[in-house]
Chain A
Amino acid sequence: MNTYLIFALGGAGLCGIGLFGFILHDDLLRRLIAFNLLGSGTFLILVGLAQSGRGGVDAVPQALVLTGIVVAVAATALTLMLIRRWTQLSQQSHLTEEDE
């Protein structure tokens, strides 16, 4: 049991919580926060697992996580814009069921 493994396990836990929230909630903002949790968990696993047993600092996962964070910020911003537009148009904070 080393520190890296703790990071990875913590990340897996975060992923679990995020996935749970993502599936369970239909409120759009909660789903977005759950998605962000899932993302953070993934980054923790990437940093944790990728460094275990290799000794020294591995630059590749760090570069990956940085890129991943940028992508996650962009995705979050786009989601927020769409959610705002949807609540303005429909006066609702969750997606309504198919009405066909």
Chain B
Amino acid sequence: MSSLALLPWLLILPLAAACLTGLLPLRATQISSLLVILSQALASLLLLLWMPSDEPLFYSLGSWGAPLGIVLRLDGLAAAFLMMTSLIASLCGLYALSYLRPSQQPGFWPLFWFLWAALNGIWLAGDLFNLYVGLELLSLAAVGLVALGGEASRVKAALRYLFAALLGSLGYLLGVSLLYGAHGTLDLELLAEVFHWGPLSALALALILAGLALKTAFFPLHTWLPPAHAGALTPVSALLSALVIKASFYIALRLWVELEMPERSLEVAQLLGLLGAGALFWGGWMALQQVKLKQVVAYSTVAQLGYLLLIFPLLSSSSSEASHLASQGGWLMLLSHALAKAGMFLAAGNLILCAGRSELSALAGLSRYRPMNIFAFGLAAVSLMGLPPSGGFSAKWLMLQSALISGQWWWILVILLGSLLSAAYLFRVFSHTYLETQDSVQFGQPSLMLELCALTLAALSILLGFFAPWPLAWFALPGPFTEALG
């Protein structure tokens, strides 16, 4: 089958590119990276088009089956997120090509490719241990990217991030060992069949969830995120905020649903929702206090993660329609946040290039002189605030409907207040750009490539609102996740 044969290349090519780009001279590195970017975008597009509508695909690497071999599994969710990764990582890669200095590029490309390989590995992984390997590869590559440049502030942010990520991975691994001890399998399909509830399983899942929460930077475990995401080089910030934190969330939500946790732990789900509300309010409040542009965007990531946490209580509803809407809305939220946040970070990087400084006060006058960058920032902001007709709006609409049907009205209040708060901190950024300045201020002009990358991502986050039925149809394709949802 043709689409099955494509699957291993999504891992092999990025890994090969990671090794090659570490060895080749700069020019060859850039050309080979462009070629591999093209191949990945093409492969994920073909996979999405050829995705069979009746069953998920399984592929055993080297024909070695479980338990010792590595089994890849592709369902609608994985295909959609492969596509999301290709889109965002390609544009961030193109951005990096002209944004990074030649001295920074040899360090960037190998780590970029390890990051991409790890992401593809996580979307496709069919067992708990490959997820662990993917998570570790992802964290190590991301930490390396944060430290890129080597200034003291970046090294410090990278160390903070590394310690949090390592603790999170070990929590996850400890939980996986306990699960294996209790059930004797690591394969997700088998585990879902033989899973039985008990104190050991509960402890294992608690450890796994805590580890993943630390890696995703869920409130109140978010303190490592703002320095790392705001301090990194701009294309790295975009990759981290849009994709890296989504991977650990994806694992958490998959496990939660496939092991049928929504029925088992109503209290935990409500607690997670409460943390989500905390994230929305605390992250929004902190974003309002920041004086630097990228810090505002980074704290907005902390806040937006709160919406993803709200999915957990919404899934625990007794009505299957409500939980179905919650999962659709949640995955769409993940997708639209990824597009909008990547666009916003790239646009913020451009604005900082124009102004020459990273403070908000430096933005004065920019809306007159560099309207295109402000426009890109604005489009991303519309999606983050959840104004119609953006992707963020469709996602929030589905979540609101789910909250209404399941009768959990308090989450409606949280969602609306959170949107209001995000409008407040984003309009605060705009208010700075409309201030007039003395004529003597000189603005830099970022290259067209940089502006186009930011604008494309931001525009895609709006278009997602018009084309929401496509991703929603992919999410609903049969697979272990949709089956478990019922």
Which residues does A use to contact B, with CB under 8 Å?
8, 15, 22, 28, 31, 35, 38-39, 42, 45-46, 49-50, 52, 54, 59-61, 63-64, 67-68, 71, 74-75, 78-79, 82-83, 85-86, 89-90, 95-96, 98
A-contact 0/1 string along B138-176, CB 8 Å cutoff: 001001100100111001101110110011011001100
Q: Sort A-B residue pairs by CB-CB distance and give the 10 closest, nearest first.
A: A49-B181, A46-B177, A89-B152, A71-B136, A86-B155, A42-B174, A85-B155, A50-B180, A82-B159, A45-B177
Least CB distance from A98 to B in Å reads 8
Chain A residue nearest to B177 (CB atoms) is A46
Q: What's the Cα separation between A26 and B186 when bound, in Å?
A: 35
Chain B residue nearest to A48 (CB atoms) is B181
Chain B residue nearest to A54 (CB atoms) is B184
Which residues does B use to contact A, with CB under 8 Å?
67-68, 129, 132-133, 136, 140, 143-144, 147, 150-152, 155-156, 158-160, 162-163, 166-167, 169-170, 173-174, 177-178, 180-181, 184, 186, 227
With a cutoff of 8 Å between Cβ atoms, the chain B residues found around residue A63 in the complex are 68
Q: What's the Cα separation between A64 and B132 when bound, in Å?
A: 10
Q: What's the Cα separation between A68 and B208 when bound, in Å?
A: 16
Q: Once the chains bind, are B170 and A42 in contact (CB under 8 Å)? A: yes
Least CB distance from B185 to A in Å reads 9
Q: What's the Cα separation between A45 and B129 when bound, in Å?
A: 15
Q: Once the chains bind, are A46 and B180 in contact (CB under 8 Å)? A: yes
Question: Looking at the complex, which one of A52, A68, A79, A85 makes contact with B173 (CB distance below 8 Å)?
Answer: A68
With a cutoff of 8 Å between Cβ atoms, the chain B residues found around residue A49 in the complex are 177-178, 180-181
Q: Once the chains bind, are B143 and A67 in contact (CB under 8 Å)? A: no
Chain A residue nearest to B129 (CB atoms) is A64
Q: What's the Cα separation between A46 and B177 when bound, in Å?
A: 5
Least CB distance from B191 to A in Å reads 13
Question: Looking at the complex, which one of B129, B133, B163, B170 makes contact with A31 (CB distance below 8 Å)?
Answer: B163
With a cutoff of 8 Å between Cβ atoms, the chain A residues found around residue B174 in the complex are 15, 42, 45
Interface centre among A60, A63, A90, A96 (most CB of B within 10 A): A60
When A and B form their complex, what is the total count of cross-chain residue pairs whose Cβ atoms lie within 8 Å?
Answer: 93
Least CB distance from B99 to A in Å reads 23
Q: State whether A60 and B180 are in contact (beta carbons under 8 Å apart), knowing that A35-B166, A45-B174, A78-B140 are contacts in the complex.
A: yes
Q: What's the Cα separation between A31 and B151 when bound, in Å?
A: 22
Least CB distance from B210 to A in Å reads 12
Question: Looking at the complex, which one of B67, B140, B150 makes contact with A60 (CB distance below 8 Å)?
Answer: B67
Least CB distance from A69 to B in Å reads 12
Q: Once the chains bind, are B166 and A95 in contact (CB under 8 Å)? A: no
Question: Looking at the complex, which one of B159, B170, B181, B184 makes contact with A39 (CB distance below 8 Å)?
Answer: B170
Q: State whether A85 and B150 are in contact (beta carbons under 8 Å apart), knowing that A22-B167, A28-B159, A42-B170 are contacts in the complex.
A: yes
Q: What's the Cα separation between A42 and B204 when bound, in Å?
A: 12
Q: Once the chains bind, are B186 and A60 in contact (CB under 8 Å)? A: yes
Q: Once the chains bind, are B140 and A50 in contact (CB under 8 Å)? A: no
Q: State whether A60 and B68 are in contact (beta carbons under 8 Å apart), knowing that A35-B170, A71-B136 are contacts in the complex.
A: yes
Q: Once the chains bind, are A50 and B177 in contact (CB under 8 Å)? A: yes
Q: State whether A82 and B181 are in contact (beta carbons under 8 Å apart), knowing that A15-B174, A38-B170, A45-B174 are contacts in the complex.
A: no
Least CB distance from B324 to A in Å reads 35
With a cutoff of 8 Å between Cβ atoms, the chain B residues found around residue A39 in the complex are 170
Q: Once the chains bind, are A79 and B162 in contact (CB under 8 Å)? A: yes
The 26 sampled A-B contact pairs (Cβ below 8 Å) are A8-B181, A22-B163, A22-B167, A28-B159, A35-B166, A35-B170, A38-B167, A39-B170, A45-B177, A46-B177, A49-B180, A49-B181, A54-B184, A60-B186, A64-B129, A64-B177, A68-B173, A71-B136, A74-B140, A75-B162, A78-B140, A79-B159, A79-B166, A82-B147, A86-B152, A96-B156
